[in-house]
Amino acid sequence: MTPLAYDPAQIAVARDVLASLGAAPNRTLGQNFLVNAGALDHICEVANLQKSDAVLEIGPGLGALTVRLKRDAQSVVAIEKDRAFAAFIRNKFRGDGFFLVEDDALDVDWNDLRLPETGVKIVANLPYSISKPMLRRIYEDWRPHLHSATVLLQREVANRLVATAGAKEYGPLAIMASLYSRTEKAFDIAPGSFLPPPDVVSTVVHAQFLATPSIDLHDEKKFWQIVRAAFGQRRKTLGNTLKVIAPREVLAPAFEKTAIDPQRRGETLSPLEFNALCEAIFP
């Protein structure tokens, strides 16, 4: 593997760079810098980077992952919200094959990223403060442009992403992941591998996006209306939560047709059952 001339995965280097910038990790922005070279290299291995790949990184920080992405891929686009780190990254990685967008990743438009329309790989240590809304952005807005996403998350969020019906972590995020990708947890990273150490264990997740949903959805928009209503008040039964979707005289025959007990709660239904209910409510 090609030696790196600059590597803030070494904690001494990371501290020196922060000192030179007069900066410190911002807990409000969820900044916990990964200073474990082996873990960073493993993330790139899980992403299965090729020299022809275009990669999107979110929250490069000091560039410990960025320098590896530039080594392994053809081009890298990074989004950084923090002004001090954005200026540092722009200066450090200037040149062909790298482009920095100084913006909030939750707001930036895909057309402003200078990336191909399809086949892009996201590889990112997502800031903890935006991990859940960022995952929704990836799945809901950017999915048509993506080949895969390899992201580091809090283990709690990773568990939500891969949960199955009946598990306490199961919800819309898990349904989204199962419908639109093949998703798996790759490996955990202990708090001591970060500067500063977070209060949680972190997990790297790899999602390979599907060309079409894993099940043939009856009506995608209405499917998600039902899912979100079912999880809007998790402690309530389907018979109560779905009243915002359709009147009782529509719901009762739909439950009967699908043999789904209206006393069940949303977290017990598989995507297939939600789809069947969607078809029965909106034939």
Q: How confident is the model at residue 1 (pLDDT cuts 50, 70, 90)?
A: low
CATH class of the region 11-209: alpha beta
Q: In terms of C-beta density within 10 A (0-12 exposed, 13-18 middle, 19 or more buried), how is residue 79 classed? A: buried
**Does the pLDDT value for residue 3 go beyond 90?**
no
CA distance 258 to 272: 11
**Per-domain boundaries in the chain:** 11-209, 220-281
**Does the pLDDT value for residue 246 go beyond 90?**
yes
Q: Kindly give, in sequence order, each residue whose CB lies less than 8 Å from that of residue 271, ignoring residues fewer than 6 positions away.
A: 175, 178, 179, 214, 215
What pLDDT, in 10s, does the model give residues 107-165? 999 999 999 999 999 999 998 889 999 999 999 999 999 999 999 999 999 999 999 99
CA distance 108 to 184: 27
Dmax (CA) of the chain: 69
Q: Which fold has domain 220-281?
A: Helicase, Ruva Protein; domain 3 (1.10.8)
Please compute Rg for the chain using Cα positions.
21
CA distance 58 to 134: 9
> What are φ and ψ of residue 88, in 5° steps?
-65, -50
Q: How confident is the model at residue 25 (pLDDT cuts 50, 70, 90)?
A: confident
**Does the pLDDT value for residue 237 go beyond 70?**
yes
Q: Is the separation of the CB atoms in 78 and 55 below 8 Å?
A: no
Helix (H, G, I), strand (E, B) or coil at 79: strand
pTM for this predicted structure: 0.94
